[in-house]
Structure 1
Amino acid sequence: MRHQRITPSSPLRPGNLLPARALVIAWCLMALIALLAWLLTIGQARDMGVEPGTMGMSLPIFLPLWLVMMIAMMLPSVAPVAITWVRGISRQSTGAARAGRIAQFTGGYLVAWTAFGLLVYAALTATGRLVDDHTGAARWIGAGAFLLAGLYQFGPLKHICLRHCRSPMGQLLRYASFRPWARDLRVGAHHGLFCVGCCWGLMLVLIPLGVMNIAAMAALAAVIFAEKLWRWGPRLSTAVGLAFVVLAALAPFQPWLLPGLEHSGAPMEPMG
């Protein structure tokens, strides 16, 4: 797919930018949706607590809950990209059409994270069974999850995907040459795959910390937001990687670091 120059007839020409009022409305709507998703997630977490594995959830129950979690955690960091894309392709569209395009982009983005949720469910199922059958396995599962997440923060794929998420304009210009059919949906899904590549390691630590651990989710959401939008995001990414490696070294000796692998009322014994 060749690079598209910005010309007077280009879908991303400056003249297509959203009016200031529409831009404010778009930001407020995205923030409201994220807030509602957080409220739903917190309410559900209070009822479920933190337990190993899938906590008895079947896949049809887990995936909608995972989707709400991703809306809460990821929407603040993807909102600038979605709005930037729609600002460029809107032309003279009505407010309803622009809202529809943002919804399609966001929907495609969430399709990528929902697909990743299938892998998360499989991982939770496997780790839950291991912890049930071998209580000592929790330490090594937790240490392995922290170590893998930490090492990934230094890997080349992380840097490629993070660079895309931090500076998506070049890719958005290429997206402008996509065929119009379901373009916004496909662009959102494509960007979502980059985001999964950037953040899957961070999500991995929810296995030892607890998939319904609100404090852990909030901390990860803040890290994801800062990595993508803060000036020192790449440095933060490195610092988080180092922190995970340290947690990997401590996990076998400090069971309190692994609430997501501990059954209620049955605390793990620390290694002697």
Structure 2
Amino acid sequence: MPHLRPGAAAPARPGVLLPRRELAAGWTLMVLIAVLAWAVTVGQSRRMAVEPGTMGMAPPLFLALWVVMMAAMMLPSVAPVAITWVRAIGRHSAGPARVLRITGFVSGYLLAWTAFGLLVYGVLAVTGRLVGGSPAAARWIGAGAFLLAGLQQFGPLKRICLRHCRNPMFQLARYARYRRWAKDLRVGAHHGLYCVGCCWGLMIVLIPLGVMNVAAMAAVAGVIFLEKLWWRGPWLARAVGVAFLVLAVLAPFQGWLLPGLQEAPMGDMDMDMGPAR
């Protein structure tokens, strides 16, 4: 039986990327950040009604809230890749340089989701105008969103990106050959784009369900986590795709499935304005 020198760390088991202690510390940090992001998201959702369109937010405010939402929903599922890359950073840098490199990686990842958030903002603005002009359009917009999401779950882009997110080690080895300039920013952005490619269909169902619908966000976040980390994740992706296609068929006839495309009651819109005088 091999003996370890006093103070030496136990080697990682085969198939485990990091020692248990480092995994536990990394997961704890990622979960804490996600919990804080969820707290901000839930707090903001209580001040806003679930309604179509951009909910009166200007692009900068929407994107700021969107980034917080993405941190809440995505960080737990991206934790294995992030922890592995951060450990690699720690081997080659220390002190302020390490902090800058980690910041670059996280910024690159969130930059990819920010770009997607800008697209979502444009879609929300258009849907808000359409629903405002013709409330009946909500049913078909919702059906279209569910249809796109369902088809995405079976498409080649989903398959390729999900495979990358579930088995990123080949790509991480490739990242090691990147040139030093903005390396970590590029790595984070590249991995973030794979996540966008994998999860954009799941995100667009928030348009009919409500962008500030916390229950819907939590359900989507749970699906993303299981798709990426559960051994039956690909099977789950297909099952969710079937569910979305069923919702696409039902949406034109069941308006209650589309809370995010229903105009908020006047009482909800005025709830933060105090009693009328």
The interval holding the TM-score normalised by the smaller chain is 0.7 to 0.9
In the other structure, the counterpart of 1:144 is: 144
Counterpart CA distance in 1 for 2:75 and 2:107 is: 11
Unaligned runs of 5+ in 2: 1-13, 267-277
In the other structure, the counterpart of 1:7 is: none
Q: Quote the offset at 1:173 in angstroms.
A: 0.5
In the other structure, the counterpart of 2:118 is: 118
Change (3 A) 1:23 1:93: farther
Q: Deviations over 1:19-55 (max 9, x none)?
A: 7655543322221111000000000001102011101
Counterpart CA distance in 2 for 1:89 and 1:51 is: 43
In the other structure, the counterpart of 1:170 is: 170
Change (3 A) 1:98 1:210: same
Change (3 A) 1:38 1:156: same
Counterpart CA distance in 1 for 2:31 and 2:100 is: 17
SS at match of 1:101: helix
Q: Quote the offset at 1:177 in angstroms.
A: 0.2
Counterpart CA distance in 1 for 2:188 and 2:48 is: 31
Determine if the alignment matches structure 1 residue 200 to structure 2 residue 193. no
In the other structure, the counterpart of 2:179 is: 179
Determine if the alignment matches structure 1 residue 90 to structure 2 residue 93. no
Unaligned runs of 5+ in 1: 1-13, 267-272
Q: Is the 8 A contact 1:18 1:90 kept in 2?
A: no
TM-score normalised per structure 2: 0.86
In the other structure, the counterpart of 1:59 is: 59
SS at match of 1:153: helix
Q: Deviations over 1:174-211 (max 9, x none)?
A: 11000112211110000000110000011010010000
Tell me the amino acid that sits aligned with residue 239 of structure 1: A
Q: Is the 8 A contact 2:149 2:202 kept in 1?
A: yes
Counterpart CA distance in 2 for 1:98 and 1:235 is: 38
Equivalence map 1:201-220=2 (5 Å): 201-220=201-220
Q: Which stretch shifts more, 127-136 or 99-108?
A: 99-108
Equivalence map 1:187-266=2 (5 Å): 187-265=187-265
Q: In angstroms, what is the RMSD of aligned CA positions? A: 1.9
SS at match of 1:90: helix
Q: Deviations over 1:114-169 (max 9, x none)?
A: 00001000000000000000111000000000001001110011100110111000
SS at match of 1:48: coil
Counterpart CA distance in 2 for 1:92 and 1:154 is: 40
Determine if the alignment matches structure 1 residue 47 to structure 2 residue 31. no
Q: Is the 8 A contact 2:49 2:264 kept in 1?
A: no
Counterpart CA distance in 1 for 2:24 and 2:244 is: 37
In the other structure, the counterpart of 2:10 is: none
Counterpart CA distance in 2 for 1:157 and 1:83 is: 25
Tell me the amino acid that sits aligned with residue 122 of structure 1: G
Counterpart CA distance in 2 for 1:206 and 1:180 is: 38
In the other structure, the counterpart of 1:102 is: 102
Q: Quote the offset at 1:262 in angstroms.
A: 0.2
